Chain A
Amino acid sequence: MANIRPLIICEYCDSVYDTAPLTKNQKAHCVCCGAVIQRYTSVTVQQRLALCVTAGVLLVFANCYPVMSISLQGLQNSATLWDSIVALSDGPITLMALVAGISIIFAPVIQVLLLIWVLVFALANRRSPAFSLCMRWLESLRPWSMLEVCLLGAMVAVFKLAGLLDVVPGIGLAALAVLSILMIKVAGRDVRSLWDLL
């Protein structure tokens, strides 16, 4: 069988390679198409779990506190991420509320929950129940999780409104900023390394 030693197949051109031992900050490129085929994973299971718990706490902050507040002639209003999705849900454009909801709330929340579940068991060197299902979901959710886009969107919204009225960025925005960086670190492609560890 060909499965005895781990081989890498480049997903962009189907070239086959042996795994190479990598040191810190090294990555391997495919000689054929130039894609990155192997990267040194510097985060241990413990570190990743710690970062995921942090991300979980930040998710609560980002969702419970307003992203920003505005005031106009004495009237005040503030909006959380959920409020912004509700704003899309009335009228004929309800479908967009679903897409936005998945990309800025549901996908990141499910990602973090799945990661914590999988990593708690990985800490004990065990595969969690439904391990492969969780890992496949993590893989399919990744492209739909758009927190960094949401962060840029919130900043553009601040500038857009600043001309009309007074805008104050809220705790939610700060949480969003840290969270979007954290998600890139913990929920990236290198989650796959768990397959080899366990």
Chain B
Amino acid sequence: MKTPPQAAQLGLCLCHSCGRASARDSCLHQCDRCGAALHPLKPDSLPRTWAFLLAALILYVPANLLPVMNTSMLGSGEDSTIITGVLEFWEAGAWDIASIIFIASIGVPAIKFGALTLLLVTCQRGSTWACRERSKLFRFVELVGYWSMLDVLVVALVASLVKFQALGNIEPRAGILFFGMVVVFTMLAAMSFDPRLIWQTSVRRDLKDE
């Protein structure tokens, strides 16, 4: 199949807000249809993505080590972290819920760290390896991104329900703040990464060959 032309070759530029193809001379300004700022590529994509990703990675440590909630039943209090919450379900025999929480809270952030690092490194080295697959990987990261908010919302609901003072009380703890920040920062990292960088080098190489 014939490869389609690139927007850059035709002097076109995509508006990320409304999807319009604008002429590139207006690129540094605004989309003439919706008024959003136009950029041939997302501005400072690689440094911004690195910054958000590293911030998320640093916060990931306290997010997993600090307790996310405190359960006190009849006077005896107990802190639990994300992983102890998973283990509790697992030991109680609820392997299905244990795996949902494990995938959403530990699996998804880990996949995002791995995938975004891979994408950043390959783009920086100008790799032409598996462009199509890397493109798919990025779409997968975009898709699964926000499911990690699951644990934050579970803790919020549980803490708002169990408020019986001495009889039973559940309170959120600092870990949940760090955990939520990890989710927000990884989402921002995925948003600031420009997937067109995956293809840029291969296009440049094609042009040189012609």
Q: Are chains A and B native binding partners rather than an unrelated pairing? A: yes
Q: Please list the residues of chain A having a beta carbon within 8 angstroms of any beta carbon in chain B.
A: 1-3, 6-9, 11-17, 30-35, 67-70, 72-73, 75, 77-79, 83-88, 91-93, 95-96, 99-100, 103-104, 132-133, 135-136, 139-140, 143-144, 146, 149-150, 152-154, 156-157, 159-161, 163-165, 192, 195
Say whether B177 contacts A95, CB under 8 Å. yes
Say whether A15 contacts B6, CB under 8 Å. yes
6 A-B pairs closest in CB distance: A153-B153, A87-B160, A33-B135, A9-B14, A84-B156, A79-B160
Asked if B43 is at the interface of the complex by the 8 Å CB criterion, the answer is: no
Asked if B7 is at the interface of the complex by the 8 Å CB criterion, the answer is: yes
Given contacts A7-B21, A93-B172, A93-B177, contact A149 B150 (CB under 8 A): yes
Given contacts A96-B176, A164-B73, contact A70 B135 (CB under 8 A): no
Q: Which of B19, B147, B177, B203 has the most CB of A within 10 A?
A: B19
Nearest chain-A residue to B14 (Cβ)?
Answer: A9
Between A and B, 23 residue pairs with Cβ closer than 8 Å are A8-B21, A11-B16, A11-B19, A13-B131, A13-B198, A14-B14, A15-B5, A16-B12, A33-B131, A35-B139, A85-B156, A88-B172, A91-B171, A96-B176, A139-B18, A140-B17, A143-B187, A153-B149, A157-B158, A192-B18, A192-B19, A195-B18, A195-B20
Say whether A96 contacts B177, CB under 8 Å. yes
Given contacts A3-B23, A34-B136, A72-B168, contact A16 B149 (CB under 8 A): no
| Chain A residues with CB under 8 A of B131 | 13, 33
Contact with A along B108-130 (1 / 0, CB 8 A): 00000000000000000000000
Say whether B180 contacts A96, CB under 8 Å. yes
Say whether B135 contacts A13, CB under 8 Å. yes
Asked if B34 is at the interface of the complex by the 8 Å CB criterion, the answer is: yes
Contact with A along B170-194 (1 / 0, CB 8 A): 0111101100110010010001000
Say whether A73 contacts B167, CB under 8 Å. yes
Say whether A93 contacts B22, CB under 8 Å. no
Q: Which of B145, B158, B174 has the most CB of A within 10 A?
A: B158
Q: Looking at the complex, which one of B10, B21, B152, B156 makes contact with A6 (CB distance below 8 Å)? A: B21
Given contacts A13-B199, A33-B135, A136-B36, contact A146 B146 (CB under 8 A): yes
Given contacts A2-B10, A31-B4, contact A149 B97 (CB under 8 A): no
A28 to chain B, nearest CB (A): 12
Size class of the B contact interface (CB-based, 8 Å): 35 or more
Say whether A159 contacts B180, CB under 8 Å. no
| Chain B residues with CB under 8 A of A6 | 21
| Chain A residues with CB under 8 A of B17 | 135-136, 139-140
Say whether A96 contacts B158, CB under 8 Å. no
Say whether B7 contacts A15, CB under 8 Å. yes
| Chain A residues with CB under 8 A of B151 | 153
Nearest chain-B residue to A17 (Cβ)?
Answer: B4
A153 to chain B, nearest CB (A): 3
Contact with A along B66-109 (1 / 0, CB 8 A): 00000001000000000000000100101001001100100000
- The CA-CA distance from A195 to B22 in the complex, in Å, is 14
Say whether A15 contacts B147, CB under 8 Å. no
| Chain B residues with CB under 8 A of A87 | 156-157, 159-160, 172
Say whether B33 contacts A132, CB under 8 Å. yes
Given contacts A88-B172, A100-B152, A157-B154, contact A7 B159 (CB under 8 A): no
Say whether A84 contacts B139, CB under 8 Å. no
Say whether B154 contacts A156, CB under 8 Å. yes
Say whether A11 contacts B34, CB under 8 Å. no
